[in-house]
Chains A and B, each alone.
Chain A
Amino acid sequence: MAVHTQKRAHWGPGIQKRARWGPGIQKRARWGPGILRLAGWLPLAAAALAVWPLAIVTAAGYAAAWLRGWPASRLGRQAGWTLPMTAVWIAAESARGWRALTLDPVRDGSSGWPHLTWLTVIRTFLLVAPVTIPAGLAFAALLWAWRTSMSTTRTSTATTESHGRQAPAASPAAAGPPAASPPARSPVVLPAPRDGLVSGPHPRVPAGSSRLDGILGPGVSR
């Protein structure tokens, strides 16, 4: 009898261990979609690595628009202002022939890979910059426009569901200072950032008076 009791006492933790496997299996089940999502992002990461100058410009433009709450049109205008650079590049390339015009960006883009140093990386970026800067900024503008339209749709959906509860802002700049906007006094649903204005508590503040604008210049956007 005593032996049986001891055995049961011995089995106890074993059963508990089996019970502990449950969450482990759940963890594995949670890992599955994560790995799948990662696998979905891998081709995108590989594509971004292949066209890294374009990816850098796009990421920089998107980050600037997100941090400062710029509208997509502002990024588009900046892309437009870089087009004279592209025009000069096309003129200079066409002097070499139309075949060079089509092949040179590809050749220049892959020229830095064999000897990967900081200088070659910068040189490669500069060689393709007349093409990648306008294209990257335009792509960032498209992405940002898509993102803001998505957030606007979500905001309107949240408004219909919550009847005036404050919605999350599309960007940190659009959020405004938390102390300045008491939710009890102003149950305002924040819209997507609009032309030159950061939405938030009154009065509306022009977005073009920041330190980043001192570098890029408000003249680019106006």
Chain B
Amino acid sequence: MSETGGSAEVCGARTGAMRVSWPVRHLPGRIRRGRPLRLLARALVAGALALAALHLVAGQPAAPALVTGVTTWFLLTARADLAPPPETARAAAPER
């Protein structure tokens, strides 16, 4: 393996890692600027529903499926409680 090829691989990996971590890095700020209480309530409801489903149909194949359903619902609906990402917010702001 040549020196340049190795450095290119490392660079690609770093870029990929940055792409993955970018939403995660901005997540706390988006939560803070969004609707944190509503998000918390949503998380509590999702947790309670998952626990109730696990309690009611314990040991059945429906239990992991219901937890998946509740998780999907939470992930899809929680986006509405987050503030828009900084780039989107900058683009949406009126030009002065």
Contact = CB atoms under 8 A, between A and B. Distances in A.
Interface of A: 81-82, 84-86, 88-89, 92-93, 95-96, 104, 108, 119, 122-123, 126-130, 133, 213-214, 216-220
Given A126-B53, A219-B76, A92 B69 contact: no
A216 B62 contact: no
A104 B78 CA distance: 33
Nearest to A134: B69
Interface string B60-96: 1110111011001100111110000000000000000
24 contacts: A81-B76, A85-B68, A88-B64, A89-B62, A89-B64, A92-B64, A93-B61, A95-B61, A96-B61, A104-B61, A119-B56, A126-B56, A126-B66, A127-B57, A127-B60, A128-B62, A130-B61, A130-B62, A130-B65, A130-B69, A217-B78, A219-B76, A219-B77, A220-B77
Nearest to B81: A217
Given A123-B56, A126-B56, A130-B66, A89 B72 contact: no
A218 B80 contact: yes
A219 B78 contact: yes
Nearest to A216: B77
A129 B79 contact: no
A127 B59 CA distance: 11
Interface of B: 53, 56-57, 60-62, 64-66, 68-69, 72-73, 76-80
A216 B45 CA distance: 12
B73 A126 contact: no
A89 B65 contact: yes
Contacts of A89: 61-62, 64-65
Contacts of B73: 217, 220
Contacts of B72: 81-82, 84-85
Contacts of B66: 85, 126, 129-130
A219 B80 CA distance: 6
A126 B61 CA distance: 11
Contact of A86 (B57, B65, B77): B65
B69 A84 contact: yes
B80 A88 contact: no
Contacts of B57: 123, 126-127
Nearest to A96: B61
A220 B76 contact: yes
B62 A84 contact: no
Contacts of B76: 81, 217, 219-220
Contacts of A95: 61
